[in-house]
Amino acid sequence: MSTDEEKAKKQREAGEREAARLWRAWRTVHEMVQDRGYELTDEEVKISFDDFKEKFSNPGEAGIIEQMKFSARPSDAMIVRYSNPPTAADPNPPSPDIGTIWIEFLPDSSVGIKQMRAFAQYLSANNFHTGILITNVNITPAALKIIPAVAAETRIECFVESDLLVNITHHELVPRHVLLSKEERTALLQRYRLKDTQLPRIQLGDPVARYLGLRRGQVVKIIRKSETAGRYASYRLCV
Amino acid sequence: MATAKQPKSILKKATYPATTSSKEDRDREVALYHANLIQQRKDIELNILLSTETLIDYPLAKAPYDASNPSLADATEFKRLLRPFQPSDYDELIHERNINEKCGYTLCPNPRVKDGIGGKYRIIGTNGKAKDFKVVEKEELEKWCSEVCAKRALYVRVQLSESPAWEREAAGSTVNIDLLDEPKPVDGAIVEGLGKMSLDGGTGGKQQDVANLALERGDTGMAAKNGLVDVKVQEKEVHRPAQAPSLDDLSGRLDTMHLTLEGHTPEFGSRRERRHAEELEDDDGPDTDWRM
Ligand SMILES: [Zn+2]
């Protein structure tokens, strides 16, 4: 075999490995978006590797990663979960703080203020409520400070591609986390006569909290399987 | 449980001002003070972020201006925006400029160098004197377009204050940054120089003096401004007429006079033991908690 052929073969293999990585991240992020309650079809979520390669191998187009972006709308069930029930004090509560989500993979080898600002501007210009930016490098600390600065307009979350190669919530040791709606949350606290601060806590930066896009003050129900007690639930307040 | 006896705190008592009447008032004041502090800090941090964003695109002036001869407007604005920066903020600015393939020195229009050769380290100064010879990280070299720019940038860095801007309040206006290569004195610079001269003689100088004085006094933070730290000078009243020292006074101490150091008689052991004994007497015996 000539060296040129060998080189070409090696390149193909490297390309294949890279495509496999991207496919796994693509699947995980779709599962994540679906688990949060956005509308995605099962075909979109459970795309096979071959279909994935087919979808993004348009000749003449840019690389795979440049084309990896999509949006999703919240399902009705999700809107209900995020809605604010009317109370005596506030008979006309604000509409649920949820909306269309935009997900984008960024190929850049370093992500700084400029890239983050451009992403934020893209989200605002297209009225996306939430944006998820997936990079293959860590974002600079200065760029991360943009996120709270634009929080009034749009909600930005960041993930590193390598963290999405496996779906952590599929691991057998990670129990199922379910977000409670505001009504369920109130009912729970009333039933046990608790203040929310008396609940055990889950950190905002906890991998599962990040996966579900939890916000401060939300309560998740954690369902564990137990050999002796069947299934039992516990609750945690996101702080 | 024993309620009669509180454990003694080894910490100094927190002394809050006695100026306000009720506890609620005081609590509100303290809460407000901290809220203001946090807000102020957030404002400054946002300011630094926006300044960093602006300075990524510097210099604004095109040729013939360059790093060795920056335009007056760019240099002035650069110095002004840099005031609240800490060295770490400045490093972030350099990093952000590098991400955009620019020389790390803000007033330099050149791209940074990238030699594209592998390896983590580079050897520099091989054709100069022995003292110039250095082994440096490639990453460190690739931050700049040239060695002079590295010098220019670090010359600025060492002038930045290590303390965060929200803690250096009173001195904030006094941070003045010099450049290794200041704008060349053309007509504009002379005008600025003249302006500066008159300013220094006028209010500017006075403000600076006041700020320096405040810094010297130590009332730099918000605490002093809001009067949260309540300083009162209380004169000690003298009730009896002053008496000249006499030998009678000394008679009791004559046997220890040779131990006196500049009027102070050090005591070892004896006094501490005494105090210890007294404390033990005060206690109604150890381990009596269980009785109550
Ligand atoms: Zn330069």
Ligand 1 centre from B106 Cα, in Å? Answer: 8
Cβ atoms A72, A41 nearer than 8 A: no
Beta bridge partners of A233: A223
- The candidate with the shortest Cα–Cα distance to A186, out of A223, A234, A219, is A219
Flag if B46 and A146 touch (Cβ within 8 Å): no
Helix, strand, coil percentages for chain B (3-state, nearest 5): 50, 5, 45
Query: Does pLDDT of A14 surpass 50?
Result: yes
Q: Which residues contact A203 (CB under 8 A, 6 or more apart)?
A: A209, A238, A239
Omega of the bond leading into B164 within 30 degrees of 0 (cis) = no
CA–CA distances in Å: residue B124 to residues B108, B119, B127, B149, B286: 22, 14, 8, 15, 72
Domain covering B26-186: architecture:
Alpha Horseshoe (1.25)
Of B68, B76, B71, nearest in space to B110 by CA: B68
Q: How close is the Cα of B112 to the center of ligand 1, in Å? A: 7
pTM above 0.80, yes or no: no
Q: Is the separation of the CB atoms in A113 and A142 below 8 Å?
A: yes
Binned at pLDDT 50, 70 and 90, residue B217 comes out as low
Q: Which two tokens stand for residue B229?
A: 């730290």
Kindly identify which residue of chain A lies nearest to residue B97, measuring between CA atoms: A112
- On whether any CB of chain A is under 8 Å from the CB of B53, the answer is yes
Look at residue B260 and tell me whether its pLDDT is greater than 50: yes
Q: Which 3 state secondary structure label does DSSP give A56?
A: helix
Q: Nearest Cβ partner of A113 from B45, B46, B52?
A: B52
User: Does pLDDT of B82 surpass 90?
Assistant: yes
CA A203 – ligand 1 centroid, Å: 44
- Is the pLDDT confidence value at B67 over 60? yes
Whether B201 shows a pLDDT value over 50: the answer reads no
- Among B46, B53, B95, whose Cβ lies nearest the Cβ of A140? B95
Cβ atoms of B117 and A167 within 8 Å: the answer is no
CA B141 to chain A, closest CA, distance in angstroms equals 18
Q: Percent of chain B at pLDDT above 70?
A: 61
Please state at what angle helix B23-56 crosses helix B72-82, rounded to 10 degrees: 150
Q: Measured between beta carbons, which residues in chain A are less than 8 angstroms from residue B91?
A: none
Residue of chain B whose Cα is closest to the Cα of A114:
B53
d(CA A112, CA B95): 8
DSSP state of B258: G
CB contact under 8 A, B52 and A117: no
Residue type, B281: E
First to last CA, chain B: 6
Name the more confident of B275 and B88: B88
Bigger pLDDT: B5 or A191?
A: A191
B73 within 8 A of B147, measured Cβ to Cβ: no
Q: Do B100 and A112 touch (CB under 8 A)?
A: yes
Average pLDDT rounded to a whole number, residues B168-195: 66
Which of these ranges, A74-83, A210-219, B165-174, has the smallest mean pLDDT? B165-174
Residue A114 has its nearest CB partner, among B45, B49, B56, at B56
Of the partner residues A110, A114, A145, the one whose CB lies closest to the CB of residue B49:
A145
pLDDT, averaged across chain A: 91
Q: How confident is the model at residue B136 (pLDDT cuts 50, 70, 90)?
A: confident
Chain mean pLDDT for chain B: 75
Task: Tell me if chain A has a CB within 8 Å of the CB of B46.
Answer: yes
**Tokens 């564990």 appear where?**
A224
All domains in chain A, ordered by first residue: 3-55+62-166 (3.40.1340.10), 169-238 (3.90.940.20)
Query: Between chains, do A145 and B100 touch, taking CB under 8 Å as contact?
Result: no
pLDDT per residue as tens digits for the range A124-179 = 999 999 999 999 999 999 999 999 999 989 999 999 999 999 999 999 889 999 99
- Does B45 sit within 8 Å of A145, measured CB to CB? yes
Domain positions in chain B are 26-186
Is B283's pLDDT higher than 60? no
The ipTM is: 0.81
Q: Judging by beta carbons within 10 Å of its beta carbon (0-12, 13-18, 19+), is residue A113 exposed, middle or buried?
A: buried
